[in-house]
Structure 1
Amino acid sequence: MEKFKIIDLFSGAGGLTEGFRNNHFEIIKHIEKDTAASRSLILRDIFYYLKNSNKLDIYNNYLSKELSFEQLLEHAPQTLLDKTINKEICEETIDFIFKEIGDYSDISGIIGGPPCQAYSTIGRAQNKNKKATDGRIYLYRYYIDFLKQYRPQFFVFENVKGLLSFKDADGDLLFPKMHEEFQNAGYEIDYRLINTAEYGVAQKRERVIIFGVPKTNLNLIEKFFKELESQKEGLISVKKAFKGLPKLHSGQENNNYKKVSNSYVDKYFKKNKNVILTQNIARPNRENDLKIYKEIASAKSKGKNLKYNELDPSLITHKHTDKFLDRFKALGWDVPSHTVVAHIAKDGHHYIHPDVNQNRSITVREAARIQGFPDDFYFENSRTSAFVQIGNAVPPILSEKIASAIKNTMRK
Structure 2
Amino acid sequence: MVGKMSMNFVARSYCEWDSFQGRCAEVYRCLSTILDKKYNKQAPICTFKGVTPVICCTDCELVDDLRNIIIDEKLGYLYKTGRKAEDACTRFKQIVDYRCKHDTQYDWSYSLNYRIDEKCRNLTLFESRNYFYTQGREAEKYEYPHMALLGFGADVDSAQWLCGGSVISERYILTAAHCISQPRVGPVKYVALGILRRSDPVDKWQRYNVRRVVPHPEYKSPSKYHDIALLETDTEIQFNDDVHPACLHTRGEAEEVLTGTGWGALGYKQQLADTLQSLDISRFGEEECKQHYPSHRHLLQGYNHTTQMCYGDRETVADSCEGDSGGPLQSNKLDEHHCVTTVVGVTSAGKQCGITAGSGLYTRVIHYVPWIESVVWPEELHLRSGRPASFDVRSDFRLNGDLNVNKLI
Calculate the TM-score normalised by the size of structure 1: 0.22
Which protein shows a greater Rg?
Answer: 2
Larger helix share, 1 or 2: 1
Calculate the TM-score normalised by the size of structure 2: 0.22
Larger strand share, 1 or 2: 2
